[in-house]
Every structure is written in C-alpha cells, then in structure tokens.
Amino acid sequence: MLNIAMAQMEVLPGHPDKNTARILSLIEEARKKRADIVIFPEMAVPGYLLGDTWEQTSFLQDCESFGRDIIAASHGIVVMFGNIAVDWSRKNNDGRVRKYNAFFTAQNGHLIQPDNMPYPYVIKTLMPNYREFDDTRHFFSLQKLARELGTTPNHLISPVSLKIRDTRYSIGCLLCEDGWSDNYELQPFEVLRQNNPIDFFVNISASPYTLGKNEKRNRVFGWQAKTAAAPLFYVNAIGLQNNGKTIYTFDGSSTAYTKDGTIHAVSPEYQEDLAVVSLDGQNQRPASAPPEPPIAHIYRALHYGIRRFLENIHMKKVVIGISGGIDSAVAAALYADIIGPENLLLVNMPSVFNSQTTQGLSRTLAENLGCQYMVVPIQQSVDHTIEQLENTPVVLLKNGAESHLHVSSFVAENIQARDRSARILAGAAAAFGGGFTCNANKAETTVGYSTLYGDQSGFLAALADLWKYQIYELADYMNQTVYQREVIPQGIMDIVPSAELSSKQNVDEGKGDPLKYPYHDYLFRSFVERWQKASPQDILEWYAAGTLEENLGCRPGLVRQYFPTAQSFIEDLERWWNLFTGMAVAKRIQSPPVLAISRRAYGFDHREAQNGPYYTRKYLQLKNTLLQQ
Amino acid sequence: MLNIAMAQMEVLPGHPDKNTARILSLIEEARKKRADIVIFPEMAVPGYLLGDTWEQTSFLQDCESFGRDIIAASHGIVVMFGNIAVDWSRKNNDGRVRKYNAFFTAQNGHLIQPDNMPYPYVIKTLMPNYREFDDTRHFFSLQKLARELGTTPNHLISPVSLKIRDTRYSIGCLLCEDGWSDNYELQPFEVLRQNNPIDFFVNISASPYTLGKNEKRNRVFGWQAKTAAAPLFYVNAIGLQNNGKTIYTFDGSSTAYTKDGTIHAVSPEYQEDLAVVSLDGQNQRPASAPPEPPIAHIYRALHYGIRRFLENIHMKKVVIGISGGIDSAVAAALYADIIGPENLLLVNMPSVFNSQTTQGLSRTLAENLGCQYMVVPIQQSVDHTIEQLENTPVVLLKNGAESHLHVSSFVAENIQARDRSARILAGAAAAFGGGFTCNANKAETTVGYSTLYGDQSGFLAALADLWKYQIYELADYMNQTVYQREVIPQGIMDIVPSAELSSKQNVDEGKGDPLKYPYHDYLFRSFVERWQKASPQDILEWYAAGTLEENLGCRPGLVRQYFPTAQSFIEDLERWWNLFTGMAVAKRIQSPPVLAISRRAYGFDHREAQNGPYYTRKYLQLKNTLLQQ
C-alpha cells in the first residue's frame, strides 16, 4: 500500500533558498520514513504573499533554479510541490512575463506532465481575488490559457498519472481555491471526478487562518472525498505572511480524508509536521483533540503570529505602554508569555488625569508578570508643549500681524497621547533595543477612537482584529488557561474602559469611553465583516423592522436601553458612520500592520478610500420617516 | 451632421448623488448647445476607486436608482454614461452579487441594448489588474459572462445601434482598458471593427494621470481611429480618487480623434469641460498649446491634487515644518500658492545642531511667501526627554534588579525628529485648525531615510512620488514660471541636503545626507518603476557588463567616481537594498498617503510585504566573482 507523506512545512515568504533547503531535508526525512510520495504546500518554494516581488525577473529565475534542485532530489520518491512556473516566451495581460501558480510532480529527476497539459505541471484554475488574495494580479489562470490555446479548461484539467512499484495511479491535483469552487462557473474537482477514474486527490494550499474556516473546509473537502469515493490529501503551509498592512498566520491543519469523507489524519496547528499516512487509511493517527472554544484558536494564532513576526524582524525586546486598562494588560500578558518577562518593558506614563486606581493596577499587572517596569510622568512635558505653542508669537510676514495659537482641551488630550507614544515609548523602545506595541482593539480602530502618532502607533497592532468582547474573553483565557493564575488583575477586567485624558474621563467616577461596546462591537462588525457589508440604510431598515439586534447578533433589548428614541439612535449611528468612513480611514492609512484573525481584518483585507461619509437616498427617506413619527 | 458633447466632468468617488446632479445639469447644458449625444466618463455615477464600498448592497441600489434618473433625462438627447450595473440574480466568483463595469446608452427615457448583448448595456471586457486597478476584484468581465452563457466574447461584443434624426448610427462602445488591449489575447476594438460597419467609436474612461501617458494614448487611439477610418471620442473624468494609501489625479484631457487619426479637439487638463464637436471633424477647436516640459504637467497634477485633497477633507489651513532644505521649501511654495499665505503656517524648529545658515534661509523663504511664521526651539524638550529616559530606574520586578536606559546619539537623532513632528507640528496644526505636511521625496521614501512619527508623518506626502532631481526642477519651475521671482532662495537650492540631526551633518562644513542623489535617484527608480523590477542581480550584471549607467539612465562616469572599487559599489548596493526591502517597508506601511505622479508610486501602487531583504543565487555568485577579481 502507498505511503503518503504530508509535509506541513513552515514557508518563509520571499526566501526560496531557505524554503528549498527545508524541502530537501524533508524529502530525506520522508524517504527514511519509507514514504512513496511526499507532498509540499502551494508556493512552497517562493512563498505566497510577496507583493510586487513577482515582478522581479531575477527572483523568478531564482525560484526556477531552486525548483530544479527539488526535481533532482526526487529519486526513489515522488515529490509534489508548489512553485511559481514561468513561460518566458509569453506575457501576462499586464505585459509582464507569464507566470503560473503551479503544482509540480517530480519522479526520478523528471517532471510528470499532466495528461492533457501543454506544460509539465498543473496550473491553478481558480484565482481567488478577495481579501488578501490577489492571484489574478500576478498569475495567469488555466482558464485564460485554455482560451489562448483555443481549447476548453475542461480539456486541460486532467490527472497526473504515474507508476509506483509497478502500479499506475491517476492523481487529481488541485491548488487551494480549485477545491473551493462554490461560486465559480467552473468546478475543477468536478471536471476531474467526472472525466477520469481518480485514485486519489491532492490539494496543496497556502491558506491563511481565519476563525471558523477549518470547520467549513472539513465539510467541503470531506464531501469531495466521499463523492469521488477517493481519498483526498490536503497539505497546507504553516507560517506568517503579510501584504504590508495585514499579517496572516497560516495554521497548517493539513488533513487526510478517507474515501468515505471521514478524517484520517490531521496535522497540528502552527507546527511543522511530516505525517505519513497510507492511501487506504489503515495507519490512522490518533483522533484530534476535542473541539476547543474559538478563543483558544485565537490565542494560538496570536501567539504564533507575534512570535514569528518578532523573529522575522529580528526584534527580541518589546516596550508596552500600560494604562491600567484591559487592552494594554492583555498585550502585556501575551508578549510576556512569548519573549519572557526580562525582555518586556512596561511603561506607565501618568498625567494629572490618571487615577491612583489605574496606576496601581498597572503596577500590580507588572508585578504579576515579573517584567521590566518604569514610570515616566508626562505632565511636565505636556505643560511645556502647551506653553511653547501658546506663547510663541505667530507672525503673518506679509503684514507683520502677530497672533497666538490656542490649545483647546481636545487638542491637549491628543498632545498627551502623542507625548506618551512618540516621545516616551518610541525613545524608550529604541534605547531598550526593541519596538513598542499598538494595543488598539477593533472597535477603536473602526472609528479611529485613538490619536495618530499617539496610541495609534507601534510596530504591530496585534489585537486590532479583536472586538472588545474578544479582548475580555482573551483576558479570561490568559488567566485561566495560559497562566493558570490571576496575571491580569480582576480590577482591570472590572474597571470602566477610559482613555483618562481629561477630567471627563475619570474612572473613579465611572466615566470612560463613549463606546457602548455590547452594542457598538456588533454594529461595527456589520460594517466590516458581513459578506455584503452593512451600511446605515441596512441598519435603519433593520431598526425600523425591529430585527436589528437579531441581524447584528447582539443582546436583545440593548438598543432600546441605550437609545430611547429614534432620534438618539440615528444620532449615534451617524456619529460613528461619519468617523468610520471619515477620520478613521485617514488614521488607518497610517496605522501599524494588523494581525488578521477574523474573516475581514483592517488593512489590505478591507479596502477603503478617503472618500468621506455617504448616505443613500433610501436612508435619508427612512430617516425622515422615522424622525417624523 | 451629428453634434457630440464630450462631458469631461469632475467625478466625486463614492458620491452618486452629487455626480448625478452634475450629470443632469450637464445634460441640460449639452441640450442647450444643440448636442445630439452627450458622453460622460466611465463610472461617472459612483466613481471608480471605492475599495470595498462595492460590497455594500445599499450603495449599489443607490447607484441604480440615480442611473434611472439619468435615463429618464435622455429625452431629445442621447446620453452615454458609465455606471455600475448589478444583476441581483447572479453572483460574482467571490459569492457577492454580480457587478459589471458598464456603459449605458439612453435615448428618450429608454436604454438601448447592444446588438448581441443579454443586458441593456455594454460590459467592460478587459479588466485591468495592475497598479491602482482592481477591476477583477469587483467586476465580472464580459469574458466570464460569455463562458457562463456558453458563447464567445466575440459574439457578445457588438455595437450599439440607434437612430438620430432619421439616420441610423452604429457605435462602437468601449470602456477604458478595452482600448488598451496590447497584451490581451482578446482585442475588443478589433472585434468591433472587423465584424461590423462602425460609424464612430466612443471610449469612456476613468484614467488617472501618469507622467507621459497621454502621449502614448494619442498614438494608440489615433491609430485605432485611422485603422477603422472612423472618428473616436475619448471621454475621461477629472477628479481626485484614492485607494487609501495612494492618491490619483484624473487629468481629463478628453480627446476627439478624426477618422484619419488626427486630433480634432482636446479638453484641458484638470478642468471641467463640455466640448461639442461635430462627427465630421468640421468645427475643429483651436489646436492645443505647444508641448510643455514634463515638470509643467507635474506641477499641474500636484496643484490640482493638493487643492482637491484639501477640499475633500475640508482642510483650509496647513502647517509645514521648514528646515531650510529644498523639500520643505518646495512644499511651502506649493501650499502657499494653493491656500494663500495667510492660511499657511511655517514652523522652524531649531536644535543645537541647526546652523544659522538654514535658520536664515527658512526665515527668508517665509518672508518671500509672506505667510504665517513661528520659531519653536526643541532643545529643552529633547534634553528633558533624554534626561527622563536615562534617569528613570527600570526595575525587573521578578527579582528587583534595577537598570537604566542609555540614549545613544542615533536614538537622540530620532528623538529630535519626533519632537518636531509629533510634539510641535501635530500640536500646532491642531491649534491652527489644520494639518501638517510630510515633505519626504521618493528617494528618502525608498530607503526610509526618515523617522517614523517624525519627518515621515503628516496628512499627505505630496512630494513622495518625485525623485530629488524632480524636486530641484520643481523649485526652479516655481520660481521662474509660477511665482516669476525668487521665492525659494537660491541658497536653499545650493546647500547640501542634510537632516542636521547631529554634528556629523553640519551643512556649513558641507556635510549632509548619505544619499548620492545623482546616482541613487536612478538606482532606486530601477527598483520601483521598471516594468520588470530590477533587483541587485540585475544591477550587478549591468555593473559587470559596464552598462549600468545606461540601464539606469544616470550620468555616465558617476559610478566609477562614487565607487572606485567593486567592493565599495557592492557595499553601497546592499546597504540600500537592505533598507528598501527592510525597515523602509515598515515605515511606508505607516506613512501618509502619497500623491501619484510616476508610473509607480508607493502605497497601493507598489505592493510590498515585510519579508526582509533577499539575494538570489546568481547575485551571490556574481558578487563572489567580482570581489575575487
């Protein structure tokens, strides 16, 4: 019986040299484990999220060169791997050289040509072009190739046939999206299944982690294996890849499905793994652990993502400004766990507006973590800044007229926030030999409830794809499961969220943020994460129909509790929509990279323009009706 | 003879209400001018660069609703316009509702169905998916539709036939990229021309300004008109659209080509225009002005782009930190010209390292412009920051060990830069009621020769798509042509570029930036702007072959002059490549939006990931060879 090695490797984007070295070593290992076939993920040689590196001729040549090394290493074992394939004689539609996202099968030093293909490799048919995916930008699809050749995709989509120990196998080879064809007019899996006897399927992927995605994949791929009555081997990469503004973890979770659609073997999340499974499903691996709550997966994604990101940018030390609030506390507990308390410097930066309560909670948190700690007051600097701004004469040189700037209390709030981050934290981080974090959550990020060059700055916004309720869940999880003691003081969980930038935000008087998280978390989520994004028109229609809470997924009764009248409801809606599509866009353009967790993270994943707020005709009509009632 | 009105309107992205109001008023105007047909640009109703607003159902409904108003206004005049078209019964490949980038033709209140189309509008066939273009992400192409319908694009691509004053016309309707088909396997223009008798062509576009693009378009479109022996009317929008990180001006320059391929009428750059031309080319407009130098076009793009951007974000006042160097001086001259000197506040912020020379030049510049001026020294604040960082004890709480941070001279340099921007300029801008600018040029932006939250910050980086040599050209142009007097003092042109952040950067001793602009401008340009991007391997191959200066386009002899040995050449190359693909990426992720001028601006136009520097095998071999010689 055939033994198949699923090589769930860590792919380093943009480093074909290191990836190839890893592939060659895993081929050796698979050979030792008596595997007949070893399967590597999609784009295992170059990595996947490379931006315009795909436009460098020399990089493409380099990937080809390393690909030849891998092919040469296929003696006595069949090697299946993803790499970029270049046809130097043809062009893409942008005039650049022709590139395919390709699936190579090598045996005894030679590539095996799929039955009906003009190239010695399988070409990706379906090109995802949503969220982080930009396949259409760089890669020429099988569909376009078919049109160019005057044939059909159905003809070109064909199995790879090869002989192992005198038995011939027909293998259905798919690349990632080829197996997710729900909304495409062409279904590569179905074409393969219907036109050919297939012994087994292989889906090589570079599929980033998204909360809840693996459950869906098991349904879809399990169904495929069952329908075809053939085993399916899904091999995904682990790793951390980014497109600048958004950072994705690749969780692996490679899975072997038996011909009846059940799961035969699963590789662990975020760990390299070389699972050798038999084609007939005999040597079944122990069943995977019982299902965990979503927050456990989120924690693992954050932990792996932060650790790997720090390694990638060679950062060993981190500075976090802690306020005594929940976001910075969760960040501190996470980073302490990853880099060790001696490499973590927590800085508390009180002004006259910071309560003894939050200063005490900050200190307790730092003590619980046992990390480096310093207290740097900012009042003297803030006073000096305001004094300089207000007392320095401004002269209009065309006529000599003199005036003075006035610093309002709102302006003074932002001066405090920038003083903390751009003056103290940035300086402290550089002197400490590291970077400082941005602790913004997704609700704040949505409406720009933050100061640019202040608390909106940092080298990474690791929590910016988590809603406030997820931050609290994570705090609980850290205490109960990760540390198994109260690292984050209960007082931090209980205190009202507040920026403490003025006397109007006094936590001891229960005053804090203008965000009503139990409602706004869910309202904002509908703006960003729904597949067809919600806008004020949808919100108002649901409100008028009495189905708002149901549609948003928040607690029933909340809306009436927070907003007794239609007018107060509409004022709140417009206030946040104006910010979300206005100033918050400007802030996000300059904010740090976001670690993606949800099905729609900010950055490159949620495309937006500085076009200002807009209200549709229907919205304005409905608003009018509601206000007149 | 038919009269055709080319409505070069200003399109506001994301504001179909305002665009439709403008369209309806221009229809009226065209009717008064006795036009038979009035043509509006591509996506004239919704705008073009909208990001994920395309995913809002309510926005799509709204655009449809406004489209119906336009159709209803087509009595007595044929109205051609671009809008989004939605087929609510079908889906895109991402599972979202089906959207087409469509060309509508309305007459007497009804849409005219193209001869072989299943919809009453023309669908864009070629979907650009490079630089700022993301058509494939949002819009379903005619090619995909043909496949879905089981027919060919050649069958669906068909003229729009209509009768005006008892004569029947067959019109070839194209959307932007449909006319730029060089690298596509399908050529919509050729399909139309070869299959049908066409009376004239109409290309509606949403085509951003790029230096040199209009010359190419005149060649391509003039050739099309001549080949088809039919007039061609190219109607482009003006306006400012952005995708967050990069801001594009749309220059209009709508052009009528006669059937012999000559230019019949041209609308001015960046101005609304309703040119009425006759189909036979009789009422020729006065020939356009003599060709201008590229810097004149660049100036116009900057002037329009900055003005429009300020209007869009409702910003009337601007603060600029001026150092006595060329970049901030050019920025000051530009903004003074746009918003008036009374709305411009220049701030000079000396430390102990700033020379009397540059302080005097700053004052002279401000006097020449007659704007608001203030001098805010930073030394006291910088000293206080360093003192706080160095004297505050850092305690490792797990064992009580105490240590102190040390502020190196490099760390102190960045503290100065952040003190200026995040402390003074941000505060001054807020108190002045405006924003502050980022004055970085493209060479600095390429290698991150700047401080994050320092000189890398601001609300807009208007000069960040100009190389240093273009900044000098612009300074000359401003003095000679715009102001016609020496606004930017000659001393600023002559002084060595320097950050003046330490005694090692003393301008009076001729010490300044590590960048050798006459070479690095061109080296960096090859990394970013070449269609197939250059990497160290290409650079070293050219260097070894003695063709480097020729390939880069810089002055011959420079390389040997700057780098006497291969070793010094390679050290310089690696130094900047490491920064370009390393720390500079992290800085660009958080830098302000860039106003695009070149064929490849930073931001959304140049996709990049934080993947770190990489050197190919061939590069390493060649380097080895060169160093051993």
**Cα-based angle A501, A502, A508 (whole degrees, multiple of 5):** 95
Sign of CA dihedral B193, B199, B204, B209: positive
Chain A interface mutation, best of B501, B589, B594, highest count of A Cβ atoms under 10 Å: B589
Enumerate residues 338 to 367 of chain B having a beta carbon within 8 A of any beta carbon in chain A. 341-342, 345, 366-367
Q: Is residue B124 flagged as an active site residue?
A: yes
Average pLDDT estimate for B17-36: 98
Please report the DSSP string for B200-232 in residue order: EEEEEE--B--TTHHHHHHHHHHHHHHHHTS-E
Q: Where residue A134 falls among pLDDT bands split at 50, 70, 90? A: very high
Give CA–CA dist B354/A45, Å, rounded.
50
Give CA–CA dist B261/B259, Å, rounded.
5
The whole-chain average pLDDT of chain B stands at 96
Report the 3 state secondary structure along A151-163.
CCHHHHCCCEEEE
A-B CB pairs within 8 A amount to: 398
CB nearest to A185's CB, from B148, B396, B423: B148
Q: What is the pLDDT of residues B549-571, one digit of tens each?
A: 999 999 999 999 999 999 999 99
Catalytic residue, chosen from B124, B245, B259, B468, is B124
Q: What is the pLDDT of residues B292-325, one digit of tens each?
A: 899 999 999 999 999 999 999 999 999 999 999 9
Give CA–CA dist B82/B45, Å, rounded.
7
Tell me which architecture the domain covering A293-514 has in CATH.
Answer: 3-Layer(aba) Sandwich (3.40)
The count of C-alpha atoms lying within 13 angstroms of the C-alpha of B387, restricted to the half-sphere facing its C-beta, is 10
User: Where are the CATH 3.60.110.10 domain residues in chain B?
Assistant: 3-283
Contact B591 A590 (CB under 8 A): yes
Average pLDDT estimate for A368-376: 98
Q: Where residue A385 falls among pLDDT bands split at 50, 70, 90? A: very high
Residue A328 labelled as part of a binding site = yes
User: Where are the CATH 3.40.50.620 domain residues in chain B?
Assistant: 293-514
Please name which of A511, A528, A552, A525 lies closest in space to residue A468, comparing C-alpha atoms: A525
Contact B97 A380 (CB under 8 A): no
Residue B288 labelled as part of a binding site = no
Write out chain B residues lying below 8 Å of A588, CB-based: 244
SS3 call for B402: strand
Contact A61 B618 (CB under 8 A): yes
Q: Is A356 exposed, middle or buried (0-12, 13-18, 19+ CB in 10 A)?
A: exposed
Give CA–CA dist B178/B126, Å, rounded.
5
The β-bridge relationship of strands B3-8 and B37-39 is parallel
Q: What is the pLDDT of residue B288?
A: 58
Tokens of B19: 């665009």
| B286 pLDDT more than 60 | no
The whole model's pTM is what? 0.97
The whole-chain average pLDDT of chain A stands at 96
Q: What is the pLDDT of residue A285?
A: 61
Q: What is the pLDDT of residue A283?
A: 62
Q: Is residue B42 flagged as an active site residue?
A: yes
Contact A372 B394 (CB under 8 A): yes
Please name which of B134, B40, B142, B39 lies closest in space to residue B85, comparing C-alpha atoms: B142
DSSP E strands in A318-408: the ranges are 318-321, 344-348, 372-375, 394-396, 401-403
* Lookup result for tokens 């300020």: B310
CB nearest to B406's CB, from A148, A186, A431: A431
SS3 call for A470: helix
Q: What is the pLDDT of residues A24-58, one digit of tens each?
A: 999 999 999 999 999 999 999 999 999 999 999 99
Q: What is the pLDDT of residue A512?
A: 87
SS3 call for B174: strand
CB distance A362 to A348 below 8 Å: yes
Q: Chain A: nearest CA to B153, how far in angstroms?
A: 11
Enumerate residues 379 to 408 of chain A having a beta carbon within 8 A of any beta carbon in chain B. 380-381, 384-386, 388-390, 392-399, 403, 405-408
Q: Is B315 on the interface with A (CB under 8 A)?
A: no
Residue A213 labelled as part of a binding site = yes
Q: Where residue A507 falls among pLDDT bands split at 50, 70, 90? A: confident
| A287 pLDDT more than 60 | no
> In one letter, which amino acid is B201?
F
B536 CB-near residues (< 8 Å, 6+ apart)? A58, B573, B574, B577, B615, B616, B619
In eight-state DSSP terms, residue A459 is S
- Chain B residue nearest residue A610, CA to CA: B244
Q: Is A476 on the interface with B (CB under 8 A)?
A: no
Average pLDDT estimate for A256-285: 90
Q: What is the pLDDT of residue B285?
A: 61
Q: How many CB atoms lie within 10 A of CB A72?
A: 14
Q: Is B551 on the interface with A (CB under 8 A)?
A: no
Average pLDDT estimate for B198-211: 96
Average pLDDT estimate for A421-436: 98
Enumerate residues 61 to 80 of chain B having a beta carbon within 8 A of any beta carbon in chain A. 61-62, 65-66
Catalytic residue, chosen from A124, A245, A259, A317, is A124
Catalytic residue, chosen from A10, A42, A177, A413, is A42
Please name which of B207, B270, B271 lies closest in space to residue B49, comparing C-alpha atoms: B207
Please name which of A603, A606, A539, A611 lies closest in space to residue A581, comparing C-alpha atoms: A611
Contact B418 A426 (CB under 8 A): yes
Tokens of A12: 């380093």
Q: What is the pLDDT of residues B512-536, one digit of tens each?
A: 889 999 999 999 999 999 999 999 9
Give CA–CA dist A614/A577, Å, rounded.
9
Please name which of A291, A176, A296, A300 lies closest in space to residue A249, comparing C-alpha atoms: A300
Q: What is the pLDDT of residue B289?
A: 65
Residue A546 labelled as part of a binding site = no
Write out chain B residues lying below 8 Å of A586, CB-based: 313, 459
Residue A316 labelled as part of a binding site = no
Average pLDDT estimate for A315-321: 98
* Domain boundaries A3-283, corresponding CATH code: 3.60.110.10
Contact B376 A389 (CB under 8 A): yes
Q: Is A264 on the interface with B (CB under 8 A)?
A: no
Q: Is the ipTM of this complex over 0.95?
A: yes
Q: Where residue B281 falls among pLDDT bands split at 50, 70, 90? A: confident
